[in-house]
Amino acid sequence: MAYCIMKNTLLILAFLLTLSCSFKENKSEKAELLSDLLQSATWVDLTYSFDENSVYWPTNVPYTHDTVFYGINDQGYFYSSFKFSAEEHGGTHFDAPIHFGENQNTIEKVPLKQLKGPGVVVNVSEKAMNNPDYLFTVDDFMVWEEKHGLIPEGAIILVYSGHGKYYYDKEKYLGTNLTGPEAVPELHFPGLSPEAALWLCEERNINAIGLDTPSIDYGQSTDFMAHRILCAHGKTIYENVANLDQLPEEGTFIIALPMKIKGGSGSPLRIVAVI
């Protein structure tokens, strides 16, 4: 079964590359085959809906959604329109390299090739659920490689800590119900160790890393070194990712499309896995 899943994923990758680069006569057949593969695949939404329950950093302004008009208008037909406001970093969202990397890419400058890739799901839930301050280590990624081989080029790594089960319970998810600056020292949730961040940047060629917690740095971080290392190396980051328990450790293809905010350091993210 795992072989079949991986085979389909590799076929999708191959045809995506072929369709983007090839202008041969058989491109229509390849497009048809790619369409059939995508139609028969399972798609998993890894995005939380944005609403009043969306998790934001305690010092950030939370998401709001207001009605402009809803109902029958003066011309006699139904019409609805709404407005929303939010800081860039909250809910399921995307960190551009500029977030912690001086002179790095803003949202609109991140190349499309960096927004997709083979999924690598690293399950550290057994360790992280017993320790809210757990730091993902190089060994955690090497355990995955012992099972599945080297992390592939251009991979999107998704770390499943199990912490996402608390997303709608902010005290458990963040470690505190406080808001504002006084909440920050009380934050407790797992994150990526600086050593592992550097290893992923220097020893593996990944496109991005995401996880099911509010930040790539663990809650008690004061220097945000994982952010700083990843962003300085031009990597993108996904936070508050949903439904990682529904994914196999290998055999997925990830597509992560942020709102294209010119000059943005981050944005709401719609991320999906193709199995």
How long a stretch of residues is the chain? Answer: 275
pLDDT of amino acid 5: 44
Measure the CA–CA gap between 72 and 70, rounded to whole angstroms. 7
What tokens appear for 22 in the block?
């090839």
pLDDT digits (tens, 9 = 90+) for 113-136: 999 999 999 999 999 999 999 999
pLDDT digits (tens, 9 = 90+) for 199-247: 999 999 999 999 999 999 999 999 999 999 999 999 999 999 999 999 9
Answering whether pTM is above 0.85, one says yes
pLDDT digits (tens, 9 = 90+) for 64-102: 999 999 999 999 999 999 999 999 999 999 999 999 999
pLDDT of amino acid 229: 98
Which helix (H) or strand (E) is 82 found in, with range? strand 78-85
Q: Are 265 and 88 in contact (CB under 8 A)?
A: yes
pLDDT digits (tens, 9 = 90+) for 239-269: 999 999 999 999 999 999 999 999 999 999 9
Residue 214 Cα to chain centre, angstroms: 11
CA 211, 214, 220, 225 dihedral sign is positive
pLDDT of amino acid 272: 98
Task: Name which of 187, 151, 165, 140 is nearest 240 in CA terms.
Answer: 165
Q: How confident is the model at residue 26 (pLDDT cuts 50, 70, 90)?
A: confident
Whether domain 42-274 has CATH 3.90.1300.10: no
Measure the CA–CA gap between 197 and 189, rounded to whole angstroms. 17
Least confident piece of the model among 29-33, 92-96, 144-148: 29-33
Measure the CA–CA gap between 255 and 275, rounded to whole angstroms. 11
Averaged pLDDT, 146-163: 98
Q: How confident is the model at residue 12 (pLDDT cuts 50, 70, 90)?
A: low
Q: Are 113 and 13 in contact (CB under 8 A)?
A: no
pLDDT of amino acid 48: 98
